[in-house]
Chain A
């Protein structure tokens, strides 16, 4: 059974940093693109970033470029999101997700971790 379990969310002050982690199991992690998707309270979904199987390609939405860094450790079956210079508008539930490139879809999602940026 595919499982994606996020951790690392919490309350952080504006300008602060946070590192999210996602532990993957039940599939060959190193064979899949992985992504982060966020959802602000009461709002819709926003794709944040993704990373290729070997980490050689990474893509970001403009609003987080230069502030967020996606990375992975295939030996640990883990995905990460380093978030720096956090802003109030980054407040959201952050989902770790598996991208099924062959089908052009995001086929598995974690349960999400809440990041709150507030003073």
Chain B
């Protein structure tokens, strides 16, 4: 199975900060990676697919990059509504797997 390691697992930041989350795959997954945002008690929401394509309706302050084994999610200027937990998911090979999550909290 492909393991996805997210770092950091916890991040404390202020409104307006630039935030970067990393997702490393245990083997190459090309660009078959998606990023999700989840708020407490809610279902995940798709932010980025194919590693770098912004899902329709998602603010442009979110961006994704990478291919192969290393990927990043960047929030260019953190907004109050962005405080949440973020997950990466690989859809390159079965079983599809998720990273452990990165919780972004208010400093």
Contacts and interface: CB of A to CB of B under 8 A. Distances in A.
Interface of A: 35, 37, 44-47, 50, 59-62, 95, 99-100, 103-112
B94 A59 contact: yes
B44 A45 contact: yes
Interface of B: 1, 31-34, 36, 38, 42-46, 49-50, 53, 55, 87, 89, 91-92, 94-101
7 contacts: A37-B44, A44-B87, A47-B95, A95-B44, A99-B91, A103-B34, A104-B50
A95 B46 CA distance: 14
Contact of B95 (A44, A62, A95, A100): A62
Contacts of A50: 96
Given A44-B101, A109-B44, A104 B95 contact: no
Contacts of A108: 46
A47 B96 contact: yes
Nearest to B9: A44
Contacts of B46: 105-108
The majority secondary structure among interface residues of chain B is loop
Nearest to B51: A104
Sorted nearest first, the 6 A-B pairs with minimum C-beta distance are: A105-B49, A109-B43, A105-B34, A104-B91, A47-B96, A103-B49
A42 to B, nearest CB: 10
Given A46-B98, A47-B95, A103 B53 contact: yes
Given A44-B100, A50-B96, A104 B32 contact: yes
Contact of B89 (A62, A95, A106, A112): A106
Contacts of A100: 49
A61 B75 CA distance: 31
A59 B43 CA distance: 22
B87 A112 contact: no
A110 B91 contact: no
Contacts of A47: 89, 95-98
Contacts of A105: 34, 46, 49-50, 55, 89, 91
Contact of A106 (B34, B50, B53, B92): B34
